[in-house]
Amino acid sequence: ALLSIDGDTFESTWETLMTLYEHVAVGGFVSVLSFAGEATEQAVETFRDCAKITSPLIFYLPEDNFAGGRGATYWRKDVAVSSPQEQPACLQAGRHVVKTITKRWRSHFTRTVTRKTNVTSLET
């Protein structure tokens, strides 16, 4: 399995890891393409620290490909994700934040689409 992340912000990288990392099979790989940005690097390091991931980061695009960063990186998932009850508090809290953001976004998106649909149907 391969999880490829090209998030340019802390939030997008963090949310992707929080949502999808558990679905990567043991022996699979996580690739972060935009490791050049400080925010992306911080999200990866925070997630890895929180999840107690010890497999090494391997850099496969040189630093000079990206301004101010270390290029792209990957690591191999060598341990299964524990059940939600056994996970560190930071992962449990992080999942709650992602779910809350997702619910708010869906709610906002649904209201926006409904309003636009109603306006369109009134105009025709």
pLDDT tens digits, 30-73: 999 877 678 888 889 988 988 889 999 998 876 555 555 567 88
For residue 106, is pLDDT > 50?
Answer: yes
- pLDDT confidence of 4, banded at 50, 70, 90? very high
Angle separating helix axes 89-123 and 10-20, nearest 10 degrees: 110
Give pLDDT, residue 122: 46
Tokens of 52: 């107690």
Edge-to-edge strand ranges of the sheet holding 29-32:
2-5, 29-32, 73-76, 58-59
Give pLDDT, residue 38: 82
Give pLDDT, residue 123: 46
Dihedral angle of Cα 16, 20, 21, 27, to the nearest 10 degrees:
-130
Give pLDDT, residue 104: 57
Give pLDDT, residue 40: 87
Half-sphere exposure at residue 15, Cβ-oriented, CA atoms within 13 angstroms: 13
Helix, strand, coil share (%) of the chain residues, nearest 5: 55, 10, 35
